Structure 1
Amino acid sequence: MPQRYFITGTDTEIGKTTIAAGLLHAARQRGLTTAAVKPVAAGCEVTPEGLRNDDALALQAECSPPLDYAALNPVALAPPIAPHIAAREAGLQLSASRLADACFRVFERGADLTLVEGAGGWRVPLNDDQTLADLAQELGEPVILVVGLRLGCINHALLTAEAIAADGLRLAGWVANQVDPQMDRQQHNLETLKAMLSAPCLGVVPRVKGGRPAEIAKYLALDTLLEPTAGLSS
């Protein structure tokens, strides 16, 4: 049964793409088909092929069979700022339903594992009325939370988990990503997170030079996500 998940994080720059690419790589190592969607990406660079985002390209590299960039990242924005502001400056109007339609088209490929990566955290605005949480609700898929291990992560993780539940979605699991190697009492923080988050921990990922998906995959437990009932929405 194909499994699909929405990837969110406790904040921006805490490694959502690193973890998502690692999960996709782990699936590919098992001979599974993979697909990904980065519905909206800001901070894109101008290339001969058009605007391209490094995170989206990293996900595209882990898609098997190959997936066209436009399908993976339907809305590419140049300024590295909040998506709704970048879209407004580009004369675009973001909406959860349109972004969801782009995701559904990728879902139709029927990959064994499909990941949809948000931008920033759970409540990043899409427009004056909607946030990325509205997109996740439109999709209705379980959520994987990437927790950036640094001071304040417990509060951020618990608040995000509460918001996910309040929005009617299931937290399928969470990944601890070591964004601050000098974090004091890291193990104690991990123990607290494991005790207070109801979903399983899918891995504790240390700082890996270059963030190569093949290395990241070694620290991730994919079995939980591939169980027959794992991707069923609550």
Structure 2
Amino acid sequence: MSVYFVTGTDTDAGKTLATSALLYAAKRQQLSTLGLKPIASGSQATSDGLRNSDALALQAQSVPPVAYTTVNSITFEPAIAPHLAAIEAGRPLNISVITGILRETLNHTPRDLTLIEGAGGWRVPLNEREDFCDIPNVLRLPVILVVGLKLGCLNHAQLTAEAIIADGLTLAGWVGSVVDPAFEADSARFEANIAHLNAKLAAPCLGVIPHLNAPSAAAAHPYLSLEPL
């Protein structure tokens, strides 16, 4: 069983698209899959309870199928930082509780490939003392970094990669995801930026997802490869 934690260079870096596309690629190889988003804010009220669109996307790529609560165990409605949503809801986040839930899920739902998606970037807070990066730190998980390709991404990517390695974790791979179509408009400069990331990030590139007019796991997966993992 292979388990990875997926983080990003920033909010809206394309983590969910990359995560769901990697799971989709694994499904096409007849592998069992599980996508987890343990904490999600920005959710909609439904007849079944709060549902987060990112978590639903990961649930759709999990085979055999699992319940929504398996994918997303802690859900908040406001589209704000999770630690603030938790305070407002009177449900403070705690790393030991979160990692305990994840350990139980991993033990009871083993899959060929499991991807655990964080929120925002590497140092997004869980509470006053703990951050999202404490989840892979406690569980000792290798990390996949999703680089939101836009102006400023080279600095964000290198600083995040350095932080992951400084925390004693393995950077298993990185995925580029074009979030600003203008960034890929000049192909020569775009390729130069990708070459720079390949030179600076101490991990293999799993692929680069271009800007997609209709982003989906099915549309994005041809640009990715699981082989380096």
Tell me how far apart the structure 2 counterparts of residues 208 and 180 of structure 1 sit (CA, whole Å): 10
Q: 2:227 aligns with which of 213, 223, 228?
A: 223
Q: Secondary structure at the match of 1:209?
A: coil
Q: Alpha-carbon deviation of 1:106? A: 2.2
Tell me how far apart the structure 1 counterparts of residues 124 and 68 of structure 2 sit (CA, whole Å): 23
Q: Alpha-carbon deviation of 1:182? A: 0.5
Does the 8 Å contact 1:9/1:146 carry over to 2?
Answer: yes
In the other structure, the counterpart of 1:126 is 126
Does the 8 Å contact 1:123/1:132 carry over to 2?
Answer: yes
Letter aligned with residue 217 of structure 2: P
Q: Secondary structure at the match of 1:24?
A: helix
In the other structure, the counterpart of 1:46 is 45
Q: 1:188 aligns with which of 192, 196, 218?
A: 192
In the other structure, the counterpart of 1:15 is 14
Does the 8 Å contact 2:172/2:203 carry over to 1?
Answer: yes
Encode CA deviations 1:30-71: one digit per residue, 9 max, x unaligned. 111001210100000000000000000000000001111111
Q: Alpha-carbon deviation of 1:135? A: 1.1
Q: Secondary structure at the match of 2:101?
A: helix
Superposed, 1:33-182 pairs within 5 Å as: 33-108=32-107, 109-182=109-182
Does the 8 Å contact 2:39/2:75 carry over to 1?
Answer: yes
Does the 8 Å contact 1:103/1:116 carry over to 2?
Answer: no
Structure 2 alignment gaps of length 5 or more: none
Aligned length: 224
Q: CA RMSD in A?
A: 0.9
Compute the TM-score of the two structures, normalised by the length of structure 1: 0.94
Structure 1 alignment gaps of length 5 or more: 226-234
Tell me how far apart the structure 2 counterparts of residues 36 and 96 of structure 1 sit (CA, whole Å): 19
Encode CA deviations 1:82-140: one digit per residue, 9 max, x unaligned. 00000000001101121112211221211000000000000000000000011111111
Superposed, 1:203-218 pairs within 5 Å as: 203-218=207-222
Encode CA deviations 1:146-182: one digit per residue, 9 max, x unaligned. 0011011010001000110111100000001111110
Q: Secondary structure at the match of 1:100?
A: helix
Letter aligned with residue 58 of structure 2: L
Superposed structure 1 runs of 4+ greater than 2 Å apart:
none
Provide the identity percentage: 51
